[in-house]
Structure 1
Amino acid sequence: MSTFSLDTATVLAAGDASEHRVLIISLFVAFVLATLGITIWAGRQTKDATDFYAGGRSFTGFQNGLAISGDYMSAASFLGIAGAIALFGYDGFLYSIGFLVAWLIALLLVAEPLRNSGRFTMGDVLAFRMRQRPVRTAAGVSTIVVSIFYLLAQMAGAGALVALLLGISSEAGKIAIVILVGIVMILYVAIGGMKGTTWVQMIKAVLLIAGTLLITALVMFKFNWNISSLLGAAAENSGKGAAFLEPGLKYGVDSMTKIDFISLGLALVLGTAGLPHILIRFYTVPTARVARKSVNWAIGIIGGFYLMTIALGFGAAALLKQETIIESNAAGNTAAPLLAQEIGGGAGSAGGAILLAIISAVAFATILAVVAGLTLASSSSFAHDLYVNVIRKGNASEKEEVRAARWSTVGIGGAAIFLGVFARDLNVAFLVALAFAVAASANLPTILYSLFWKRFTTQGALWSIYGGLASSVLLVLFSPVVSGAPSAMFPGVDFQWFPLSNPGLISIPLGFLLGWVGTLVSKEQPNIDKYAELEVRSLTGTHAH
């Protein structure tokens, strides 16, 4: 889940794909068939809204922790962080630290009270002591916007990845691949609901950890299990010497890059606790204690994964020429697959082809699991918050609600397919950064204010959500990631005036400020009794669900 490019058409361009295409296709088909079988099995056990949205609250702490890990570790983090370390050494590893620290915020502030206070969505928590319709509308809009931005990035990457590995070069073929991936995604969610999606995410997490562990073991074996030898070889081969192992290569160039990193770090650390597809995972466990356990498991699994990116990134720097990595992809996203091919015996070797195929299949599984989680989060919010509580004003049966959720899955999936077709050749990195920034600027302030500030009002929630959303989108639109830079989405034009690549440094404090000011100027009297009930419920779990 990083802000690196998801232009996956170049991510796995290393090597001759024709040599291992049969193996790759076999792995892809095996994964899709296995997970579709599990999805159909889960769908048969989905009887009501609790089953569809929360998997019947039947998952253990370990299972949910594994699923959270599968939902959280996207292809961007798997490929992007390894590439950042390979190119920038110490500064690249800072991303891993940011992602891991983010879970402490989720554990300490959000996981338990959120699970105790809501039923299925973030909107349940926000609307508990405020006016239902405006707050649920705002929560639904924010959830869908964050999910669509993130979903679009993953869809475009998935389409490009599969098209490249299957040797499809025609535009019609690439469009067909995006549509096919989208259909598989819709089937996962519409048929299996939360149960099916959770099992897909657990399988993906196991595959990702196993693939990463295999490459890590091979790299460490190559350097006699001596981390100092690995780091020394990486520093020497990088051409940057000792500076490769010290801060400053990427974020210490000038004062603006330092400020930009602070902005990005804020978005990463605070955004995780506001990401809709992560938040809904806390509702899938039976008790608050299990919710805490699941986050602890997730921290351990994710922490282990990011520690292994040290071996992936520095291993790529030690065994591959910097020019080779950059020529394949300027952002370094090819580092992990290139390393897999090299450590397996090099281009043209059977071992290299096998490892490259395995890493390719893992990347594809990673994308499918993440898009399933995102689709479920947005369809749940539309059906539960907007359709049932805003449009139908709470007068809908559970059967109607589940039907609406399934149809909204088709609608949101269709929108993602449509937008993914047009975005398949674009650098969509800014969409990932924007998703984190919106989550931290709009969702997190309203969640924390709702849980911990008794004076918080409906107007404060609306100002915070819409203000954080609007400021994030506006600042990114006029930032260097959209125009005015060679790596921008539209490099041929220049209308940027905001100097930072991530808006978090401005939009996150603004989201908190707007929530505070909106509450102070509101004429609405806060419902103190409702807040007292919410406080008891969030801290003790009494009457939860």
Structure 2
Amino acid sequence: MNDPMILAQSLDAGNPILNISVFIAFIVVTMYFVTRAGKTTKEAGDFYTGGGQFSGTQNGLAIAGDYLSAASFLGIVGAIALNGYDGFLYSIGFFVAWLAALLLVAEPMRNVGRFTMADVLSFRLKQKPVRVAASITTLFVSLFYLIAQMAGAGSLVSVLLDIHDFFWQALVVGVVGIIMVLYVIIGGMKGTTYVQMIKAVLLVAGIVVMTALVFVAVRGGMGELLERAVGMHADSEYLSEQGYAAGELLEPGLQYGGTLVDDLAFISLGMSLVLGVCGLPHVLMRFYTVPTAQAARKSVTWAIILIGSFYLMTLVLGYGAAALVGPDAIQDAPGGANAAAPLLALELAGPIFMAVIAAVAFATVLAVVAGLAIAASASVAHDIYHAVIRNGESTEAEQVRVSRITVVVIGVAAIILGILAMEQNVAFLVSLAFAIAASANVPTILYSLYWKRFNTTGAVASMYTGLISALVLIFFSPSVSGSPTAMIPDADWAWFPMTSPGIVSIPLGFLAGIVGTYLGKPDNLRALQAEMEVRSMTGVGVEAPVDH
């Protein structure tokens, strides 16, 4: 068994210069690729989608890089280490969501859209109201996702350098935000895609090595690993203070306590995770970076292989952290639950291995925030500035300039909010972004693709209802106030009992789309509706622009 004080001392014995050197080396190498890509980024299509020139395999790697975020590596490993079975729900939910994305939206989205999610939603509807609503939902989903990545970066570097001071943790978040802005401004989607491909290979390779080392360290299989994890939980002062009994690590209910509200909260989180991917703007944009619908399918297949393998291995790493590091050492480290993965790397193979794994995790943060920033900036420039403010008459150079300005603004907002959320588990923060995406975007996407009667009123009602209800319930939930782990722990205005709003806000989004469609006037755009149906199902006419 590991004493938290001994582990803390070994952490202090790590070499901060080595850790920072590995970080800088990665940034230099990736910035080289970003700069080279930036020289060919001249038109809006280059900036938003890399000119649609990536192969299915390349895009599959990039999708995996985009999706396997700090929440996946840092947050899930920490959640499993502290909460066992309940933490594994994040792994299952994030993975199963890709099956829904593959079956329901991947190919139709690629066939109908060009740059953004709003291209699909407004294809057969009135352009301006739908594009504005889609842009607003895109910004909120991207911002919540960015907050999680920024918080993950702060936690990661805090562990590496043993930083407990709030000022230095905040400074780290600020540096991550600045590097993210530079990646996007210089390289656009091409540069970001190369970074994500590199990061996906490094991350999966690092996880494979860590998984093998865990089994070597416990000198047994999965059964031995689970026994040791349960034993560490039984001796944990932190978990005993929370009122958890020995053995609950392997049972549902360690995090969700068995009451009706707890059971509904568990279901709510599962709904958000499974449906959320179909509405994530930065993931949906990835389907436009390939030249054909066949390549889009191939890219999702590759992504599922990589993502599925990764999430299965997070189970081993989570229980490995519980068994070899222990809940008390994890909870006492800077960053709390988010420190489980780097502390496990330190325990398995020492400071050098920890520095390499942490650099990969840091790469994870940088790649994901760059992809999110592109999705948000493209939505503002293409959907609001070009389509609404300039009535489709802006030049591509103007759109790229507006996108770059938007990236800077988003970066500043993400830095500020990321600093406020540094103590939160990043997997949980990402689940909130999934809940907003599932509530605000998924109903409208599915109705637009598969319901002929759906109209503009239904689309606008669905998006705003899903978005507002999710935001309101999150604001009045224990995740923001009213609990020791809340973003604002000293305040209490929580009246909604669940941390995830999906069980309420997702049905409201679907219901609002139905009510709005039947109450609103038909759009009388039958020719566009027929064209969208043909495009989405067959891919015929994909390259032709749409003129309302």
- Structures share fold, TM-score greater than 0.5: yes
The aligned amino acid for 1:326 is Q
2:265, 2:499 within 8 Å by CA — same for their partners in 1?
yes
- Give the match for residue 305 of structure 1: 310
CA shift for structure 1 position 493: 2.4
Tell me, what secondary structure is at the counterpart of 1:19?
Answer: coil
Distance 1:514 1:328, change over 3 A: same
1:221 equivalent to 2:219? Answer no
- CA RMSD of superposed structures (Å): 2.3
CA shift for structure 1 position 401: 2.0
CA shift for structure 1 position 323: 2.7
Moved more, 58-67 or 246-255: 246-255
- Give the match for residue 127 of structure 2: 132
- Give the match for residue 382 of structure 1: 380
- Give the match for residue 8 of structure 1: none
Alignment of 1:140-155 (within 5 A): 140-155=135-150
- Give the match for residue 106 of structure 1: 101
1:393 equivalent to 2:398? Answer no
Distance 1:270 1:427, change over 3 A: closer
Tell me, in whole angstroms, the C-alpha distance in 2 between the residues paired with 1:418 and 1:85: 28
Moved more, 356-365 or 165-174: 165-174
1:445 equivalent to 2:438? Answer no
Q: Which runs of 5+ in 2 are unaligned?
A: 1-6, 235-244, 544-548
Tell me, in whole angstroms, the C-alpha distance in 2 between the residues paired with 1:93 and 1:424: 22
1:454, 1:528 within 8 Å by CA — same for their partners in 2?
no
1:237, 1:318 within 8 Å by CA — same for their partners in 2?
yes
- Give the match for residue 3 of structure 2: none
Alignment of 1:520-535 (within 5 A): 520-535=518-533
The aligned amino acid for 2:533 is E
Distance 1:70 1:330, change over 3 A: closer
Tell me, in whole angstroms, the C-alpha distance in 2 between the residues paired with 1:284 and 1:272: 17
Distance 1:264 1:526, change over 3 A: farther
**Cα deviation digits, residues 202-243 of structure 1 (max 9, x gap):** 111112112211111111223445222222332334326654
CA shift for structure 1 position 442: 0.8
**What is the TM-score normalised by the length of structure 2?**
0.91
1:42 equivalent to 2:37? Answer yes
Alignment of 1:193-232 (within 5 A): 193-224=188-219, 226-232=221-227
Find 1:270's aligned residue among 257, 269, 275: 275
Tell me, in whole angstroms, the C-alpha distance in 2 between the residues paired with 1:379 and 1:258: 38
The aligned amino acid for 1:78 is F
**Cα deviation digits, residues 47-76 of structure 1 (max 9, x gap):** 322211111111111111111111111112
**What is the TM-score normalised by the length of structure 1?**
0.91
Find 2:332's aligned residue among 327, 331, 350: 327
CA shift for structure 1 position 146: 1.0
- Give the match for residue 480 of structure 2: 482
CA shift for structure 1 position 327: 3.0
**Cα deviation digits, residues 478-532 of structure 1 (max 9, x gap):** 1111122221222222211111110000000000000110010002344222111
Moved more, 175-184 or 105-114: 175-184
Find 1:72's aligned residue among 64, 67, 73: 67
Tell me, in whole angstroms, the C-alpha distance in 1 between the residues paired with 2:162 and 2:341: 20
Tell me, in whole angstroms, the C-alpha distance in 1 between the residues paired with 2:233 and 2:337: 13
Tell me, what secondary structure is at the counterpart of 2:271?
Answer: helix
Tell me, in whole angstroms, the C-alpha distance in 2 between the residues paired with 1:146 and 1:423: 16
Distance 1:251 1:172, change over 3 A: closer
CA shift for structure 1 position 176: 4.2
Find 2:266's aligned residue among 256, 261, 269: 261
CA shift for structure 1 position 140: 0.8
1:14, 1:334 within 8 Å by CA — same for their partners in 2?
no
Find 2:297's aligned residue among 288, 292, 297: 292
1:445, 1:512 within 8 Å by CA — same for their partners in 2?
yes
Alignment of 1:296-375 (within 5 A): 296-328=301-333, 332-344=337-349, 352-375=350-373
Tell me, in whole angstroms, the C-alpha distance in 2 between the residues paired with 1:257 and 1:536: 45
Tell me, in whole angstroms, the C-alpha distance in 2 between the residues paired with 1:533 and 1:134: 21
1:180 equivalent to 2:185? Answer no
Distance 1:99 1:175, change over 3 A: closer
1:68, 1:278 within 8 Å by CA — same for their partners in 2?
yes
Distance 1:354 1:76, change over 3 A: same
- Give the match for residue 15 of structure 2: 20
Distance 1:433 1:307, change over 3 A: closer
Distance 1:245 1:420, change over 3 A: closer
Tell me, in whole angstroms, the C-alpha distance in 1 between the residues paired with 2:416 and 2:224: 49
Distance 1:165 1:219, change over 3 A: closer
Distance 1:422 1:485, change over 3 A: closer
Tell me, what secondary structure is at the counterpart of 1:481?
Answer: coil
Tell me, in whole angstroms, the C-alpha distance in 1 between the residues paired with 2:159 and 2:306: 30
Moved more, 332-341 or 448-457: 332-341
CA shift for structure 1 position 23: 1.2
**Cα deviation digits, residues 7-59 of structure 1 (max 9, x gap):** xxxxx978434632111111100110011100001011223222111111111
Moved more, 77-86 or 32-41: 77-86
1:59, 1:286 within 8 Å by CA — same for their partners in 2?
yes
**Cα deviation digits, residues 402-454 of structure 1 (max 9, x gap):** 22222222232233334445555677776533311110011111111111111
The aligned amino acid for 1:50 is G
**Cα deviation digits, residues 282-332 of structure 1 (max 9, x gap):** 101111111111111111101111111122112122223333333337963
- Give the match for residue 241 of structure 2: none
CA shift for structure 1 position 159: 4.1
Find 2:284's aligned residue among 264, 279, 290: 279
Tell me, what secondary structure is at the counterpart of 1:333?
Answer: helix
Tell me, in whole angstroms, the C-alpha distance in 1 between the residues paired with 2:153 and 2:76: 18
1:48, 1:402 within 8 Å by CA — same for their partners in 2?
yes
Q: Which runs of 5+ in 1 are unaligned?
A: 1-11, 345-351
Q: Percent identity?
A: 59
**Cα deviation digits, residues 452-481 of structure 1 (max 9, x gap):** 111111111110111111000101111111
**Cα deviation digits, residues 129-183 of structure 1 (max 9, x gap):** 1111111111111101111122123224324543664566666655543333222
